[in-house]
Structure 1
Amino acid sequence: MKKILSFLAAGALALGLIGCSGDLHDDEFNPIDTSKFETFELCGAMTDWKNDAGTNLKFTPTENAYEYSVTFTAKDAEQGFCFITKTGLWDDYQIGGESMKAGTLPEGISFSSKAGEGKHEDAIFSGLTKDAAYKMTVETSSGVYVVSLASTEAPVAPAAPVPYVLSGLFIKGAMNGWKDGLKNALMTFTTSMNGEVEYQYDFVGAGGDMGFKVASTNYNDGYSGAEIIVNADYVPFTQMRVGGKVTDLEGNPIPDPGKPGENLGDTGNSTIKATKAGANYRMYIKTNPDKEVFVKVEQIAAVKYKFKVINLGNNAQAWINGSFWGAWELGWPIASWNKAVKDGYAPVAVVDGVAEFPAVFDVDAVAKVGETKSFNFKAIACANDAWGQADWDSGDLACEIEITGDKTFVIVVDAETKEVSIE
């Protein structure tokens, strides 16, 4: 009888799946690329649920695509856990049990989930052996987190990659008169979860090919030998100079073709091909734990955002705030909102129904040519100087701006229609 009921249930399930929308199936089988996360870590009872850099266990990619693993020691027979995509934060940066399903598990161990303290469920392994070590493998090619578990003889944490930091080096070349100094020094910009370090350096094109070196003050150390095409992918430096000696990246001396028996005395320059005079560029230099060093150059734009509100009628003063200024940092001048206005930013007078915000409100920025920037903001106005309440409120506004090159964009809000236009 149970077999008959199971057969009928399976048939009903199959018919139900046939009736499901195609979108659901598309979502289910869309692979999840965890490299887009700031981090991908295990947090749970095995780490005392601390969610900090010292206790979270980082997943490392395996040799298989969309597969990651980590080892942990069970502190009890039942261990709740979740995945973290930004260390120290929960909810929006947390992947709970509702997004997981069981893969291959050792005999006697089960997987389940239950409501947690926040927005997400806690995933749970039951039947573990206290103080035993396990290897957790997560596979994401199907659009869900398939969690498998295997026993291991000892808790072997994967060795964290050691970032390769370029210390005491400068960008010296045609873009800065071959000078070092703090503004031309390589400063760490980001370090990724796989140990890559990226540096950025902005400069103005001189026109034509531009030579440069990544070098120490006395040129005794550094990298060279790269030929770079603007907006192309990373290319490697092929030579390095250590203690005044020129070698390839494996440390092998490079012979001087003009002086038999002697080593090359100078690496020459790296070259950025076909720059445009006066155009803005950003150089990216990236290292990995294998001590390989790469470089690329992209054209960027120097942009300015200015602001104006029109058709304000009899209102006397206006104000604006939003993501143009970071985390809405200008504040609000409405007393009942209890937020102070940032020093130096006074409400703007309305003249003939128009509020033109002065230069102090201008936003200078750089952006990649061809990208689209999105912003959220809000404008308000009042008919007197009291600012006890807003007599006109734009509500939440948004705009998208396509970056085509160096340009000043004027963001115009029509108070009557609450529409946004870009001049």
Structure 2
Amino acid sequence: MALRALGPAARVELPGGVPAWSVTDPGLVRRLLVHPQVSKDAHQHWPAFIDGDVSADWPLRIWVDIRTVQTAYGYDHGRLRRPLVPAFAARRVRALAPWIEKTADALLNDLAGAASAAPDGVVDLRTHFTSRLPWLTVTTLVGLPEAMHDGFQAVNDTVFTTDLTAERAAANSAEAARLLADLLELKTEHPGDDVTSALLVAHREGALSERELADSIWMMLGAGYGTTAGMLGHAVVNLLAHPSQRELAVSGQVGWDQVIEETLRHQAPVANFMMRFPTEDLHDEPTGLTFARGDALVINYAAACRDPGVHGSDADRFDITRPTAREHVAFGYGAHYCLGAELARLEGRIALPALFSRHPGLELAVAPERLDPLPSLISNGHREIPVRLERNRE
């Protein structure tokens, strides 16, 4: 709200004293996402990065340093996106539904067991369900063996954390390289019908460099896990905090797809996306703003999705009956629309009704305002979601 008050885009200072624009207007966001002279490649189009003005230990550096579809421009964007597309084809996503249903059911069994074992009946829903389901789903797509899950998840959980020390970040990078080498060796010897095997084929054919291969796998794990976990967590918390909204959903008066869209709008899973850079001076006629060549642009999805001009004066309120709920940019726009958007929606359509059907007495164990957010400028979620599966009778 404060940034929106400063206009469609406002000058901000990122951690480490890095100057940037925070873009909050949804119309401007869409125009920048499809503009042919706006790049995501810091290696080509961010002078501060190219000239060495951005320190090696800058806490957000990984988000511009990686070589994936998320940081590619022009031809390279299509080249890096192409090997990933088959994994998210509509038919393949739909085929995952029975597996997701079975997995959600098993996780809910485990959740009930954990709650029964807890002396006070309080259990962390994030650990046992809202983050666990997306993690198991994306690791299945990537082809990550179960024996490697814990190691990869421990490293992956730090990717969205933007307050790590330089020493911790270096240690994580070394561990990530070790884990990935083991995975690539395994998949080279035993390929499967998974994203890692497909990326290895593209690498052998010369379509991906070794760095792009490694970064793409980590990108898949991070994007497919943290964002969906945030979406599921916010949906549950908001429904528990708003009993009348919850009743509309569980009674079927409002569909779960609408719950998901309002959650995405109200709590964009990616709060801020790092970064984009004009390849030449760029004047935006509708807003009157001019961005200089090489300016760093942060797409502020959290603010853009709550724009009062689109969603009304109560845009900051969670309302699953909102007629404009689907008019958000939480998954991006145009050629940069999230490949995994429909998979995330499918997970939500399965996980949320399963949870509330199994546990109609579900309640938060703390007030919503006491939930701690993830320590990240990028990922929008909770550290923990303590709940009771049955209403406290005290």
TM-score per shorter chain, which class? Answer: under 0.3
Q: Of the two, which has the highest radius of gyration?
A: 1
Q: Normalising by the residue count of structure 1, what TM-score does the alignment of the two structures yield?
A: 0.24
Structure with the bigger percentage of helix: 2
Q: Normalising by the residue count of structure 2, what TM-score does the alignment of the two structures yield?
A: 0.25
Structure with the bigger percentage of strand: 1
Which fold has the larger relative contact order, with Cα–Cα distance below 8 Å and residues 6 or more apart in sequence? Answer: 2
